[in-house]
Amino acid sequence: MRHLLLILLALALPAAAQTAIPQTPAAAPSEVYRSVVRIEAAVQVPDYGTPWNSGRFGGGIGTGFVIGKNQILTNAHVVSNARRLLITVHGSPKKYPAKVEFIAHDCDLALLSVEDFSDFESFPVFDIGGVPELESQVRVIGYPIGGQRLSVTRGVVSRVDFSSYSHSRADQHLVIQIDAAINPGNSGGPVLQDGKVIGVAFQGRRDADNTGYIIPTPVIRRFLKDIEDGTYDHYVDLAVSTFPLFNGAMRQALKLPNDDTGVLVTNVVPKGSCDGHLKPGDILVAIDGNPIDSAGQILIDGAKIDLNEIVERKFAGDTVQLRYRSGDTWHDEDIELKPLPQNRMYAIQYEVQPRYIVFAGLVFQPLDTNLFATEKFDDINVRRLYQDYLPEGVFTERKDIVILTRIESDPINSQLNGFTGLAVDKINGETVRTLDQAHELLHPENPPEFHVIELMGARRPLVIPSAEVDAANERIQRTYAIDQLSNLEE
């Protein structure tokens, strides 16, 4: 995955509607300002360090805009982990309570509604346009730096690319780079061209001046299409990794003509869309009839874009046609696409409370990016399991990688220092595959005399006398103000 130094533009901390795209007459510039709203978010961010705590409170400002009857489009990161949302309209001091109807963290979009839309009925509705051309001028409207009044800036489209979305840290989609000044608070605001929305402002770069990124209309339209059935179902995924074939000697070794076509398949994710079809070493040369060049790009609408853009515009159950060479045989095959939920291991999670178990002062949590970012694990086994979870199919054996994250001091665990940050291998001789299973193994109907917990990389197991666990749990709950000794809900 390519890495960009990206920042979210809202100040908010990481925290069945009608969805048809409306077509309305263009309004005068001054009139559409009423339809660009200021969003004030009060958020509560979960505490993965002490997962039984409620988390810290914060807040921030973002922008949204009206796209239909009681439909306000904004960024997911503006409203993530929100406990309260208030909307104000340009030129009015009144605050309108709002709620999130749909949220898509993988493409950083959300759809809001207000409790009473009657005051908004006469507001112009923004139309969704197309993809702007390079060097064409755009207009950005929003509430940067948390200001009380609207700001309007202009710039030009400088790049159309397939790149990282920093909100989830794990997803890549189509993006448009512009040179208009986009600042914190602009997030979720409309980017206009010829009176139509051609994108949503969402992130910028720390290492460049006057460089902003917008979510283009193909991504917006897909989000709105996805939620038409009342739920958001996420993106589908080819679930393969490829390597460019620039090198002439490599192409010669693979018996490929020097025609700048095709990429090498290097990994196929188990249980993914292409599992059982492609395999490492295959040469992928076309997708849905579009030739793939040696950089992994195809030509769409006159621009070279990553081949995955074809998949980006499809949904679960749709098919994609692949042309590839396996060994000396050429294949043309239709592949049914499906989501890859295991990929969320590498994405920041929102709107969920941390899962955990507290047992005799030992705190167990399932590994994910939220936990990894909090604890910064340096154990080689934990890092390997995290890195290999998706590409090597670790998830097929262990849905959860359970980690001993901390030990709350108590006489029952006084001799167990130095084991935190290690992955749990077995409990009472059973391989641990999920956090729920770990809880069951620690709370059997007929407990053994000693609970034996084996950790990967540890020189010896942890041994806890069963007869002392209940009394220890009561002491630990009282001493450390722990309301619940476990949370297993996903």
User: pLDDT by residue (tens digit) across 64-73?
Assistant: 999 999 999 9
Q: Is the pLDDT of residue 189 over 90?
A: yes
Q: How many CB atoms are closer than 10 A to CB 412? A: 20
Architecture in CATH for domain 6-229: Beta Barrel (2.40)
What confidence score (pLDDT) does residue 330 get? 96
- The class of domain 354-487 in CATH terms is alpha beta
Residue count of the chain = 490
What confidence score (pLDDT) does residue 7 get? 41
Task: Take residue 126 and report the two structure tokens written for it.
Answer: 């923004």
Residues 281-294, buried b or exposed e (16+ Cβ, 10 A)?
ebbbbbbbebbbbb
SS3 category, 373: helix
SS3 category, 227: helix
Beta-sheet pairing, 240-243 with 236-237: unpaired
**CB within 8 A of 386, min separation 6: which ones?**
345, 367, 372, 377, 401
Annotate 316-366 with three-state secondary structure. CCCEEEEEEEECCEEEEEEEECEECHHHHHHCCCCCCCCCEEEECCEEEEE
Q: How large is the C-alpha radius of gyration of the chain? A: 25
Q: What does each C-alpha distance from 475 to 60, 209, 362, 406 come to in angstroms?
A: 39, 55, 13, 17
Q: Is the pLDDT of residue 139 over 60?
A: yes
Query: Which of the four CATH numbers 1.10.10.10, 2.30.42.10, 3.30.2320.80, 3.30.342.10 does domain 236-341 have?
Result: 2.30.42.10
Task: Take residue 6 and report the two structure tokens written for it.
Answer: 């990206």
Over residues 32-43, mean pLDDT: 94
The rounded percent of the chain whose pLDDT value lies above 70 is: 92
User: How confident is the prediction for the chain on average, in pLDDT?
Assistant: 91
17 vs 362, which has greater pLDDT? Answer: 362
Over residues 463-478, mean pLDDT: 97
Least confident of 157-161, 217-221, 421-425: 157-161
Residue 5 one-letter amino acid: L
Least confident of 46-60, 194-208, 424-438, 447-461: 194-208
What confidence score (pLDDT) does residue 490 get? 83
Write the DSSP assignment of 136-159 as a string of letters.
-EEEEEE-GGG-SS-EEEEEEEEE
What confidence score (pLDDT) does residue 28 get? 52
Least confident of 9-13, 367-371, 468-472: 9-13
What confidence score (pLDDT) does residue 23 get? 44
Q: Which region holds residue 156: left if phi is over 0, alpha if psi is between -120 and 50, else beta?
A: beta
What confidence score (pLDDT) does residue 112 get? 98
DSSP secondary structure letter of residue 456: T
Active-site annotation holder among 106, 108, 179, 410: 108
Q: Is the pLDDT of residue 108 over 50?
A: yes
Q: Which stretch, 151-155, 201-205, 457-461, has highest mean pLDDT? A: 457-461
Task: Take residue 172 and report the two structure tokens written for it.
Answer: 């890549």
Q: Is the pLDDT of residue 416 over 70?
A: yes
**What is the Cα–Cα distance from 451 to 118, expressed in whole angstroms?**
62
Q: Is the pLDDT of residue 6 over 90?
A: no
Active-site annotation holder among 187, 273, 294, 486: 187
Over residues 360-366, mean pLDDT: 98
What confidence score (pLDDT) does residue 208 get? 65
Q: Is the pLDDT of residue 19 over 50?
A: no
Task: Take residue 34 and report the two structure tokens written for it.
Answer: 């009423």
Over residues 434-448, mean pLDDT: 97
Whether 77 is catalytic: yes
Is residue 277 within 8 Å of 270, Cβ to Cβ? no
Whether 194 is catalytic: no
Over residues 252-276, mean pLDDT: 95
What confidence score (pLDDT) does residue 12 get? 37
What confidence score (pLDDT) does residue 204 get? 75
What pLDDT digit, counting tens, does each position of 153-176 carry?
899 999 999 999 999 999 999 999
In the block, tokens 């989501």 appear at 339
What confidence score (pLDDT) does residue 207 get? 65
Q: Is the pLDDT of residue 2 over 70?
A: no
Q: Which of 235, 197, 227, 226 is nearest to 214 (CA)?
A: 197
Active-site annotation holder among 77, 167, 439, 451: 77
What pLDDT digit, counting tens, does each position of 267-289 carry?
999 999 999 999 999 999 999 99
Over residues 29-49, mean pLDDT: 90
Over residues 380-396, mean pLDDT: 97
What confidence score (pLDDT) does residue 8 get? 47
In the block, tokens 């297993």 appear at 488
Q: Which of 419, 161, 177 is nearest to 305 (CA)?
A: 161
Boundaries of CATH 3.20.190.20 in the chain? 354-487
Q: Is the pLDDT of residue 30 over 80?
A: no
Positive or negative: CA dihedral 312, 238, 399, 407: negative
5 vs 29, which has greater pLDDT? Answer: 29
Grade residue 14 by pLDDT with cuts at 50, 70 and 90: very low
**What is the Cα–Cα distance from 300 to 306, expressed in whole angstroms?**
10
**What is the Cα–Cα distance from 409 to 304, expressed in whole angstroms?**
58
DSSP secondary structure letter of residue 191: E
Least confident of 222-236, 284-298, 300-314, 438-452: 300-314
Is residue 188 within 8 Å of 74, Cβ to Cβ? yes
Task: Take residue 410 and report the two structure tokens written for it.
Answer: 């108590």
**CB within 8 A of 445, min separation 6: which ones?**
none
Is residue 371 within 8 Å of 403, Cβ to Cβ? yes
Boundaries of CATH 2.30.42.10 in the chain? 236-341
The rounded percent of the chain whose pLDDT value lies above 90 is: 83
Q: Which of 64, 41, 42, 59 is nearest to 111 (CA)?
A: 64
Is residue 63 within 8 Å of 141, Cβ to Cβ? yes
Q: What does each C-alpha distance from 205 to 109, 182, 183, 212, 306 come to in angstroms?
A: 19, 10, 10, 7, 21
